[in-house]
Amino acid sequence: MMQDRYADPQTTNWPDLVNPMEYTNPTTVDESVYDDDVVRMFFGATVIWGVVGMLVGVTIALQLAWWPANLGLPWTTFGRLRPLHTNAVIFAFAGNICFTGIYYSMQRLLKTRMWSDRLSRIHFWGWQAIIVAAAITLPLGLTQSKEYAELIWPIDIAIVVIWVIFAVNFFGTLATRKVKHIYVAIWFYISFVITIAVLHVVNSLAIPATLFRSYPVYSGMTDALVQWWYGHNAVGFFLTTPFLGLMYYFLPRAAERPVYSYRLSIVHFWSLVFLYIWTGPHHLLYSGLPDWAQTLGVVFSVMLLAPSWGGMLNGLLTLRGAWHRVRTDPVLKFFVVAVSFYGMSTFEGPMMAIRAVNSLAHFTNWVIGHVHSGALGWVGMMTFGTLYWLVPRLWKRELVYPNMATTHFWLATIGIVLYTVSMWAAGLIEGLMWRAVNERGLLASPAFMDIADRLDPFYGLRLLGGLLYFIGAVMMAWNIYRTVAASRAGAPTPSAATAAS
């Protein structure tokens, strides 16, 4: 078992295009030096939390479409389940795939095992314990009430401890690397490790009053600014940079092509991290924030289009010469759609940051549409592609149901389209009706309910889209579960048998 686990023809049998000996540091490493157990653990956590987080998403989508789904219980009301959804999909689903990808690719790019197996295990179990704590406290209504930073102070401290352990292991591995050049994906990971630590600590500073309650050290406008400096950079450094790192590693591998322009990747990495940090104020337009600070946020947001599209183009162009394979390979399909949605949401974002557009979009479902074009399109599809690519590498067995992966792809894609299009339409209707005035200058629809009423069909469509997306994720979980079980049972990969299903 130990021996043949690493004898993977897939990873050693590269086309003639690649000669590892060409690289400046020709150390070739036997795969067995890598710690892939921790990768498998994070992999499993990603799948499980993904299904859970999306199930909660579908539940709250149902509640918006049909309020009795709140069940009349305090623990299951929208207000408590919504933060459960966002925490589960961001920190559990997206977080665990980032760690999966980082532990897998970092060891291979640096040709060394993780610095400490023990720290890797503490990181894994600590992170899962934090997620469980979140899943218990949020439905109980225990919250700090800062979006994406809802968790109460004892959990916040646990996050700091676990994150520092991860960082020590991460930088320890970097320090003991066997390859001199630090590949661009790892630069993206570094930005993730450092920035999330800083953001989390600064935004969560609070004075504990009891075990469950605390008072933030900031108040008023300062609190809002710190919160959205955090909030937007959570998008930037939790949902964007680590995923660009995954893109720079897994997309070239799946396409078996070198990165289109490594130089572009250097320029767009530094521009991206430099610009992102300043864009928080676009969440506070027309607020009490000083005008110049709002303008600063707008200008940096608009400029952010350039490095974002640099990344998108680099991803898509890496596929040149491999496009014919997109038709048959579900992994590449997921990656193509992911990168395309990255391009779309980073085009939409800068537009929405312009004051005139924001005055229409803000507080409406348009923002929800934007969020999910990034979250379902970019984050979700990158994750699915990476998971499917990893299965045969980690378990030495092809998928039991290869065609099911393609079905998953189509369900997810249709789901995203239904979700985003319905929310854009709903957002425009809300935005336009809220501001409409009659010839006497009075509000045309003074009753909020009149407008809310019109959203019904769109909430229904969104529910349908979310449901398709969720069903796809469940199919993936089943497919992977069966594949792992078959691998454990020692069944070889009968390529004829897999093709038949």
Partner 1 sequence: MNPLLREAAESISLGWLAGLVTAFFIVWFVAWTWWAFSPKNKEKFEEAARMPLSDGGDS
Q: Is 80 in the site for ligand HEM (CB under 6 A)?
A: no
Only one of the segments 133-141, 207-215, 365-373, 425-433 lies at the binding site for ligand HEM (rule: CB under 6 A); that segment is 365-373
User: Could you say which of 144, 233, 240, 487 contacts ligand HEM (CB under 6 A)?
Assistant: 240
DSSP-derived secondary structure letter, 22 = G
Distances (CA, A) of 378 to 211, 239, 273, 427, 462: 38, 9, 18, 21, 18
User: Could you say which of 147, 197, 317, 406 contacts ligand HEM (CB under 6 A)?
Assistant: 147
Amino acid identity for residue 359 in this structure? S
Residues 317-346 that bind partner 1 (CB under 8 A): none
With beta carbons less than 8 A apart as the criterion, state whether 243 and 191 touch. no
Q: Is 390 in the site for ligand HEM (CB under 6 A)?
A: no
Q: Is 58 in the site for ligand HEM (CB under 6 A)?
A: yes
Q: Is 375 in the site for ligand HEM (CB under 6 A)?
A: yes
Q: Nearer Cβ to ligand HEM, position 64 or 336?
A: 64
Q: Is 61 in the site for ligand HEM (CB under 6 A)?
A: yes
Q: What does the alpha-carbon distance between residue 60 and residue 214 come to, in Å, rounded to a whole number?
A: 28
Q: Which H or E element spans position 216?
A: strand 214-216
**Which residues, at least 6 apart from 237, have a Cβ–Cβ distance to it below 8 Å?**
191, 192, 195, 196, 199, 276
- The 3-state DSSP class for residue 77 equals coil
Q: Is 13 in the site for partner 1 (CB under 8 A)?
A: yes
Nearest to 195 by CA among 158, 155, 227, 242: 242
Cα-trace Rg, the chain: 23
**Which residues, at least 6 apart from 25, have a Cβ–Cβ distance to it below 8 Å?**
111, 178, 179, 180, 181
Q: Is 268 in the site for ligand HEM (CB under 6 A)?
A: no
Tokens linked to 99: 């760690």
Q: Is 64 in the site for ligand HEM (CB under 6 A)?
A: yes
User: Could you say which of 65, 98, 102, 109 contacts partner 1 (CB under 8 A)?
Assistant: 109
Binding site residues, ligand HEM, CB under 6 A: 54, 57-58, 60-61, 64, 82, 85-86, 89-90, 94, 147, 231, 235, 239-240, 279, 282-283, 301, 304-305, 308, 345-346, 349-350, 352-353, 358, 361-362, 367-368, 370-372, 374-376, 378-380, 466, 469-470
Binding site residues, partner 1, CB under 8 A: 8, 11-14, 17-20, 22-24, 28-31, 105, 108-109, 111, 179, 181, 183-185, 220-222, 225, 248-250, 252-253, 256, 258-264, 266-267, 270-271, 274, 288, 290, 292-293
